[in-house]
Structure 1
Amino acid sequence: MKNITYLTGLMMSLALCLTSCEGDLEENPAGNISIANFYSSEDDAVAGLYGVYNSVYSLYGNTAINYGEVNADNATVSPNVSDLFEWDEFTYSNEVTEGFWRSAYDGINLANEVALYTAEIDFDEEKRADIVSEAKALRALFYWHLVRTMGGVPIYETPTIGFDAVDTPRATADEVYSLITRDLGEAALELPETSLAGRLNAHIVNALLARIYLYRNDFENALVHAKRVIDSGAYDLFDDYAHIFKTEHNNGIEHIYQIQYLSGERNNPIPGSFGPRALPGPYGNSFWANTVVGGSIAPSIEFTDDNPISYRRSVTIADSYEHIDGVTGTITMEEAYGPGVYPYYVSKFDDRASELQSGVNFNVIRFADVLLIAAEALNEVDPADNNKYIWINRVRKRARNGVETDLPDLAGLSQDDFRTAVLEERRFELAFEGQRAWDLKRRGEFLTVMRAQGKNVEDYKLLFPIPNNQVRLNPNLTQNEGW
């Protein structure tokens, strides 16, 4: 169904090319003239596009987990480490978004270059239009991450040249969303329905639009775009929930859009971030994996207490594991760390044999998410339509894996009870995939939930800060209130 080809090698080749040509590209601010001269053929346009995709990596992996999970109620920092403590306790400074901001705007500028210069190259009209549309859709993806994180930000639709537009003020959030939905809407009509793994196509763009419209509480449009994906017949659920997160099932039937990783070339840091970190003691420093892993993030007590018994839960978190040596046998978390210290770890991303060179792809959006988006949106648009139960119960049926007493089908709920049910279903189905904080924020429940967990979260921390360095550089760039 989908042509499974990795972009990683192409991206690495591009990076090496750009590095080897560094001396030729240092004549700023005339550098953009060199960039313009680079775009002279279809191959150049494709190479430029892969450069934009290379920037997309900065949005996902640990970045998505920090902003969407550690900054919410599902995850907490492992009691054995403190390297993410400021995220867990909402004590980060107003410099925390500097790298995120720079990466996003680097990606936006690269996308603008591709869109502008590709349009001037003489090659097949349809292919040219696809590349331009794909670049603009990627630009929209960067803006989507910026606006939901920090609110309105400066908009650039053409490449920056020298010091032009360094004093561009912030657009409103509505203006940024208007650009995002315009570019993605055009891409949904322009792009083909299939693509190489890791590249956007019409179905992926429709899935992203469904998520964005849901975040905006535009339920009618969220439903329209979710149904386009569902009705396409291009995707389905894996029979086994565990298959979603395994290297051998990358780019499978459920994966609408994944960030591509390849072990030994571009490694996914997520398995090592969630695996339990070894401490000095009877099991040595390599009991869970062949090396000592980062082990920074653990499931919160609230998550483990609230997560109902099911096969899905058994895949998501674990209280024991087999020693990596294959001899010692089963070790419980209590044996390794002591009673109550670290009773569970997040096991759904386990790639123990190669955790520091993991080739597991990162899920940006998958079919279960789209089913839940459709169910939630339909509950708001037409609560009497029973298709909402068909969609949510497909997810629950897979999660119980044949055990009929677990997660029974939902039926006959009030509109408000269904709202609660679908939010909880998203919490456990999409756990630790970077969605939880954003779901709570769009539903207006973030502050209440986090304060109930004992966290001191001021109202203004619904938004992250504009980096101080950017405010100093741009006199027209105002800081978010409270920062």
Structure 2
Amino acid sequence: MKILNKIALGLVFAVGFASCESLDVEPTGFYSDDNFYKTVEDAEASLLYAYDALTLVSYAPINFYLNELASDNCNVKSDEGSDAQEFVNWEVTSQNELLTQYYRCAYIAVNRANAVIENVEGRGFEESEERRLLGEAYFLRAYNHFNVVRAFGIAPLQTSLIDKMDETTSSLPENMQEVYAFLIDDLTKAVNYLEVNRVTGRADKVAAQALLADVYLFAASAKESGVPKYDALTESVDNLYAKAAEYAGYVLNDQSEYAHDSNLQNIYDVDKADGPEHIFILSMDRSGTAEGDYSKLSKYFIPWIAGGTIYLKNTDDSFSPTHDGWSVFQTTNKLISSYEANDKRRTDLFVSEIYDEENNLSGSVSDGTIPYEFTRKYIDTEFSGDKTSTRPYLIRYSEVQLIYAEATANASGLEQYNQIRNRAGVSELDDLSGLSAEEFRSLVVEERQREFAYEGDRLWDLRRKNIVQEKVTEAAGLSPEQVAFYPIPQREIDLNPNIN
């Protein structure tokens, strides 16, 4: 009998290599196959527990250490811990604690999704409810495995619920073909099972289509660019791009719930998480009682400025309050210089001046009061101490537009590319004459940096295009595999002899 530990929503625990939840905790109650999953409400609670793993403080914030610090987007404050410094300096080892936490929590999230998959199918629920529950669980299992693949390359595929210690020694997949076949299969099931059903913090059919398009795009560009291990993919590069375009096209053309938001400010309004752009966004709110339910994400990006509350000038000349921060993620000149002078993503979404409550200028980058220009993407004017509703933007409609543009590299893709640039207030590209598909795709990747700066995606782009060392000088001298994949944490290797 499978014994499930009652934690938070009272469900499944992960053990061994996939655990940062202790087996030594005295459970407050038990659920088993005999007394749980009897109702749709039970299964729904289990599914919410799987979603809750995405907000773990050792998971969601750490993605920014992996993805932004190791890229050309930002540096880290000088007195941040040595583990963070390793990402900036490209000296990450298998002993890095941040990396270990990320790895473990990704597998906790996978395991919670597996609990839903194994216990819902065939339970006798109404078919529509079963398909919805399973579809979301398959999406989550694929989403978290995709995080692992992009971070570590070939790592264990956790295909079933782990609830015994002797089940924690999964072997590595044979190659990337096995890995991507698994991801594609899970997401195809999710697409087939789910309907379009917008709920903030939850995934639906459109989210599954968007993620599947992203998986195909990553595979296509990684294989095309000669990223290590991707030569094992049996599908041709052209076919992989075509599949990315196909699933991105479903999002762009076959639904009306999500859309391009012409107002740039709306996208980053914490009280508009249900805006048309947000296909998949975490459910975190300042009213939460524990970190993870509420967010401290804004603290990482905002500089520390003595005095606490500061005020930012808005595009309409009004002023908005925010707390000061921890100065962790510090904007590079490379990122700032990638924008044209009149790009709204530069003029409207980066802060170089701060004001007091009387609307008087109190500091700026030019006078040294502010150590760096910081992003406005994570600002909550209704903050309560350190508690905010700022949250990671996991899948945006604009990302699907640029996936489609990159995958098609044709006039139809150019239209999507230009819509992004038009919103930013910069010049559009008239046509593709004189540009090869490869050259246009490079332009799209450059646009992605400007559009998704500080949204936790930059390193993945550099890796799949095999341009880490071209863009990040600190990565010079490393081997192709060292720039393509982080090392699997040593602690996990020690726990699982099948990882080598």
TM bin, normalised by shorter chain, reads: 0.7 to 0.9
Tell me the C-alpha RMSD between the 2 structures.
2.9
1:414 is matched with which residue? 435
Return the offset for 1:160: 1.9
1:106-121 alignment to 2 at 5 Å?
A: 106-121=108-123
Q: 1:216 to 1:193 in 2, by over 3 A?
A: same
Q: Which deviates the most, 431-440 or 130-139? A: 130-139
Q: What is the rounded CA distance, in whole Å, between the counterparts of 2:178 and 2:146 in structure 1?
A: 12
Structure 1 partner of 2:338: 306
Distance 1:287 1:296, change over 3 A: same
User: C-alpha distance in 1, partners of 2:408/2:25?
Assistant: 53
CA distance in 2, matches of 1:387, 1:146: 32
| 1:15 partner letter | A
Q: Would you say the 8 A contact 1:209–1:222 is kept in 2?
A: yes
Query: Which residue in the other structure is 2:263 paired with?
Result: 240
Is residue 2:494 matched to residue 1:472? yes
Which letter does structure 2 place at the counterpart of 1:334? S
Paired residue for 1:318, among 351, 366, 376?
Answer: 351
- SS of 2:166's partner is coil
Deviation digits for residues 288-337 of structure 1, max 9, x if unmatched?
666542221111111112221211211232221223x3354352123244
Cα distance, 1:204 vs structure 2 = 0.7
Please state if 1:201 is matched with 2:233. no
* TM-score w.r.t. length of structure 1: 0.84
Cα distance in 1 between the residues matched to 2:467 and 2:477: 15
Q: What is the count of residue pairs matched by the alignment?
A: 443
For 1:365, the aligned partner's letter is: I
CA contact (8 A) 1:192 1:201 kept: yes
| Aligned 8 A contact 2:59 2:102 in 1 | no
Aligned to 2:229: none
The alpha-carbon deviation at position 367 of structure 1 amounts to 1.0
CA drift at 1:377:
0.5
2:365 to 333, 338, 348: 333
Question: 8 Å contact 1:274–1:298 — kept in the other structure?
Answer: yes
Is 1:425 matched up with 2:424?
Answer: no
Aligned partner of 1:62 in structure 2 is 61
For residues 36 and 120 of structure 1, what CA distance do their matches in structure 2 show? 15
Counterpart of 2:374? 345
Aligned twin of 2:37: 39
2:71 is aligned to 72
The residue that corresponds to 2:133 in the other structure is: 131
Cα distance change of structure 1 residues 410 and 347 upon mapping to structure 2, 3 Å threshold: farther
Deviation of 1:362 after TM superposition, in Å, equals 2.1
CA shift, 1:216, in A, is 0.5
Structure 1 residues 27 and 69, CA gap change in structure 2 (3 angstroms): closer
Q: Secondary structure at the match of 2:75?
A: strand
Tell me if structure 2 keeps the 8 A contact 1:374–1:391. yes
| Distance 1:458-1:322 versus aligned 2 partners, 3 A rule | farther
For residue 359 of structure 1, what is the aligned residue in structure 2?
389
Secondary structure at 1:169's aligned position in 2? coil
Which of the two has greater helix per residue? 1
Matched residues in 1 for 2:9 and 2:382: separation? 29
Of stretches 223-232 and 92-101 in structure 1, the one that deviates more from structure 2 is 92-101
Q: Aligned residue for 1:49?
A: 47
| Aligned-residue offset at 1:197 | 1.9
Q: Greater shift after overlay, 77-86 or 101-110? A: 77-86
Secondary structure of the structure 2 residue equivalent to 1:164: helix
Counterpart residue number, 1:7: none
Q: Structure 1 145/36 Cα, relative in aligned 2: closer, same or farther at 3 Å? A: farther
SS for the counterpart of 1:234 is coil
1:275 to 294, 302, 307: 302
Deviation, 1:79, is 5.2
Contact 2:352 2:372 in 1 (8 A): yes
Shift of 1:471: 1.0
Q: Deviations over 1:56-85 (max 9, x none)?
A: 224864222112211111111145756732
1:342-391 CA distance string (max 9 Å, x none): 34222332235517211133211111111111011001xxxxx4112211
Q: Which residue of 2 aligns with 1:15?
A: 8
**Corresponding letter in the other structure for 2:299:** G
8 A contact 1:293–1:356 mirrored in 2: no
Distance 2:322 2:140 in 1: 37
Alignment of 1:447-458 (within 5 A): 447-451=469-473, 457-458=478-479
Task: Name the CA distance, whole Å, in 1 between partners of 2:269 and 2:388.
Answer: 10
Find the aligned partners of 1:328 and 1:389 in 2 and give their Cα distance.
44
In structure 2, the partner of 1:89 is 89
Alpha-carbon distance in 1 for matches of 2:33, 2:495: 25
Displacement of 1:256 in angstroms is: 1.0
The alpha-carbon distance between structure 1 residues 344 and 196, as it changes in their structure 2 partners (threshold 3 A), is closer
1:244 is displaced (CA, Å) by 0.7
Residue pair 2:9, 2:49 contacting (<8 A) in 1 also: no
Report the secondary structure of 2:32's partner residue. Answer: helix
SS in 1 for 2:472: helix
Whole-angstrom CA distance in 2 between matches of 1:108 and 1:437? 22
C-alpha distance in 2, partners of 1:103/1:136? 17
Partner Cα separation in structure 1 for residue 9 and residue 206 of structure 2: 32
Amino acid aligned to 1:69: E
Cα deviation per residue 1:395-419 (whole Å; 9 max; x = unaligned)?
Answer: 111010xxxxx33334234123312
Secondary structure of the residue aligned to 1:365 is strand
Paired with 2:61 and 2:428, the residues of 1 have a C-alpha distance of: 34
| Residue in structure 1 matching 2:149, options 147, 150, 155 | 147
Aligned equivalents of 2:475, 2:485: Cα separation in 1: 19
1:171-221 C-alpha deviation (Å, 9 max, x unpaired): 133212211110101110110111422211111100011111100012111
1-structure distance, mates of 2:322, 2:415: 43
Quote the Cα distance in structure 1 between the aligned partners of 2:353 and 2:185. 48
The Cα shift of 1:88 comes to: 1.3
Which shifted more, 353-362 or 209-218? 353-362
Contact 2:421 2:428 survives alignment (8 Å): yes
What amino acid is aligned across from residue 155 of structure 1 in structure 2?
A: L
In the alignment, structure 1 segments of 5+ residues that lack a partner are 1-12, 380-384, 401-405, 479-483
Whichever residue aligns with residue 345 of structure 1, its letter is F
Q: 1:260 is aligned with what amino acid?
A: S
